[in-house]
Structure 1
Amino acid sequence: MDFLAGCIGGAAGVLVGHPFDTVKVRLQVQNVDNPLYRGTFHCFQSIVRQESVLGLYKGLSSPMMGLTFINAIVFGIQGNTLRLLGRDTPTNQFLAGAAAGLVQCVVCCPMELVKTRMQMQGAGQRKVPTCTRKVQTNLYKNALNCLMCIYQQEGLRGINRGMLCTVVRETPGYGVYFLTYDVLTQWMGCGPDAPYLVIKLLLAGGLAGSACWIATYPADVIKSRLQADGVGGVNRYSSVADCIRQCWQREGWQGFTRGLTSTLLRAFPVNAATFSTVTLFLMYMQEDPGRRNCDLASRAVPSQAEPSGL
């Protein structure tokens, strides 16, 4: 049930937030000397005008394909780690979330690599009349073809491009994520019979997601640039340190916040949808009312000595 709840919650989050993620990636990796987009709204408008609404959903299949594994890992590891730690405290919530974030990087990094490469296809490419030849041919047919091409050209190292940045982002990020959700749900009193429960869960999940991204966003910028590096046949960065150095020298601290507005606009509805869907699904799908309340309480207000596994 936890596995299924995680999948459904994650799917809801991906469908809500993927257009914002596409805008974020485009802003993060665009050339600062010759930028295609002036800001979040201009980027969104340009993608729709040049590539249609479907352009906002480029690379969607990749996160959907990895969704099952990532949510199973995250919710399973977090719940079992919290149980192994013995006591449900804010510190243990952070440690359990960090452990979940670390383990799921194995799936998350290749998935986001494919997503980024797919999202970059057609960037800045304008529509041309059907009677003329296409200006550019897409490199990849779909997410699986993209993964196979990367493996054939770069091997396992290429598939795991950006792994260090992913670990640096995901490990503390998920710690902040679950800690914030725990603190907020307890503060708002999100028990099974609480009034306005859905609104409270949406608010807690959205704020938890926003806090997670604010805490780790610079690492995400570097990860996106490394994973997009080489698209078009040009490699700009030789290592993580070189990427950080070039970003700082050319753009200053602003370079590490590119796309943050789009990310926060995406983070709130995505994580609100994810956490509330998971919580409410478990609440209503359990056959035994007593167990149902226990599951909801352990997820929405984790205050049990022996919390049930997420």
Structure 2
Amino acid sequence: MATIKKDDRLTSSQSFSCVGFAGIFSKSVTSPLEVVKIKSQVGTFHCKRGFWQSFLLIHHHEGLRGFWKGNVVSCLRLFPYSAVHLAAYKKIVHLHMDELGYVSQWRAIFAGGIAGIAAALVTYPLEVAETRLIVQNCREPTYMGVLHTLGNVYRSEGLLALYRGFSLTVLGAFPFSIGCYAVYMNLDRLWQEPPFRFNSLQNFINGCLAAGVAQTLSYPFDTVKRKMQAQSSHLPHLGGADVHFTGILDCFRQMIRNKGVFSLWSGFTANTVKIVPYFGLLYTCFEMCKQVCLYRNGYIISPLSYTLTPGVDQSLGPYELEEVKRYLKNRNFRSQDSFNNRW
């Protein structure tokens, strides 16, 4: 999966802020594609006529606002998800390190999968709320916001409804990790050079390829999960799902029997189209935010370029660099004071 490389010249709070802002911006810009994807997965009437017609129908029935339904809760989910994922990933990787601190790529990807499951467990109710908000008609809403959705689902359907379909997240993590592993194990053949020599463009392409392959393999699990999140006997038309089912296996069976095997990849066009702009905006926004932070920390001379500040040791961390600056400033002050006393 695509990752943003950690820069030791940023503080932990700066790194978290940069990733958070980049994630919010990229999610917000690509929200229309996410709405079309989820509606296609659930099987609402908007998406019966294909990819392009879905946009026209959503705009006709719900207006422009319909393309950003659920975006607030999706963005809110980023912060706890990222925090839990990072903490779990560090813990799991630390357990698999050898005496030299080395972790194999396969174990790192496996650790990422387990960390993803842990983060999904914490934030899953927000994902259910996102699906319910996206599937409903915003001009005739059943739910009025994140808290109202969570409270309404809990009161009318119980706590387990907020975790309906979670087991599919666990099952989908395995083909997702296999897809990432298959891509990353063949990158040196693709570029005909070792991974440590990849430039930024190559890493971006690698991330898009890994996301594309991994999501293709795990997509059927995500489709069934979205149907399970959306279906409810308390909602009009049972939540809008195009098949009615009693459980996970029955949902797979009903989809294949009534819609065909390829219905498991409903909305895949919107998902595939979203990959490049999403990761492109994610990387671009992160780099822009990082430049501002590096300028504030004193590593570069301008937030508009990567021109390094002369005489600054780029290997120092931000707090170490601050200590060095403070030491040099005090030494210069003492030297000047001593010079003035002699006169």
- TM-score of Structure 1 vs Structure 2, range by shorter chain: 0.7 to 0.9
Change (3 A) 1:183 1:277: farther
* Structure 2 residue 260 is the aligned partner of structure 1 residue 252: yes
Work out whether 1:290 is the aligned partner of 2:315.
yes
TM-score normalised to structure 2 length: 0.70
Q: Secondary structure at the match of 1:99?
A: helix
In structure 2, the residue matched to 1:308 is none
| Superposed displacement of residue 58, structure 1 | 0.5
Q: Name the SS for the 2:315 alignment partner.
A: helix
- In the TM superposition, 1:219-298 aligns within 5 A as 219-230=221-232, 231-232=235-236, 234=238, 236-274=244-282, 277-278=285-286, 285=293, 287=297, 289-290=314-315
Shift of 1:27: 1.2
Q: 2:181, 2:119 → 1: CA distance?
A: 15
CA contact (8 A) 1:181 1:205 kept: no
d(CA) in 2 for partners of 1:90 and 1:202?
18
Secondary structure, counterpart of 2:259 in structure 1: helix
**Which residue matches 1:139?**
142
Deviations 1:166-212 (CA, angstroms, capped at 9, x unpaired): 222245525644884697599577769x76x3x33432332232222
Determine which structure has more spread, i.e. the larger CA radius of gyration. Answer: 2
CA distance in 1, matches of 2:157, 2:31: 27
Percent of aligned pairs sharing the same letter: 23
Structure 2 gaps of 5+ residues are 1-11, 298-312, 318-343
In structure 2, what is the Cα distance between the partners aligned to 1:291 and 1:261?
45
Equivalent-residue separation in structure 1 for 2:90 and 2:291 (angstroms): 16
User: Which residue pairs with 2:93 in the alignment?
Assistant: 82
What are the equivalent positions in structure 2 for 1:121-136 lying under 5 Å apart? Answer: 121-122=136-137
Pairwise CA distance, 1:252: 1.8
* Change in 2 beyond 3 A, CA 1:104/1:28: same
CA, structure 1 residues 54+35, in 2 after alignment: closer, same or farther (shift >3 Å)? closer
Return the match for 1:47 from 51, 58, 61.
58
Offset from partner CA, 1:99-135 (integer Å, 9 cap, x none): 1111112134212211111111118xxxxxxxxxxxx
Q: Paired residue for 2:36? A: 23
Distance 2:33 2:123 in 1: 18
CA contact (8 A) 1:101 1:175 kept: no
Residue number in structure 1 paired with 2:112: 97
Gaps of 5+ in 1: 124-135, 293-310
Aligned-partner residue type, residue 60 of structure 2? R
> Distance in 1 between the 2:114 and 2:169 partners?
13
SS in 2 for 1:234: helix
Corresponding residue for 2:4?
none
Matched, 1:150 2:153: yes
- Are 1:58 and 2:69 counterparts? yes
Length, aligned pairs only = 275
Contact 1:63/1:111 (CA < 8 Å) preserved in 2?
yes
Tell me the distance in 1 between the aligned counterparts of 2:237 and 2:50.
26
Report the more deviating stretch, 229-238 or 276-285: 276-285
CA shift in 2, pair 1:209/1:61, >3 Å: same
Residues 89 and 115, structure 2, Cα contact 8 Å, conserved in 1 = yes
1:156-171 → structure 2 map (5 Å cutoff) = 156-170=159-173
Alpha-carbon shift at residue 163 of structure 1 (Å): 0.8
| Whole-angstrom CA distance in 2 between matches of 1:97 and 1:280 | 26
CA contact (8 A) 2:86 2:115 kept: yes
Retained in 1: the 8 A contact 2:46–2:54?
Answer: no
Q: 1:182-221 maps to which residues of 2 (within 5 A)?
A: 184=187, 197=200, 199-221=201-223
Contact conserved, 1:28 with 1:221, CA < 8 A, in 2? yes
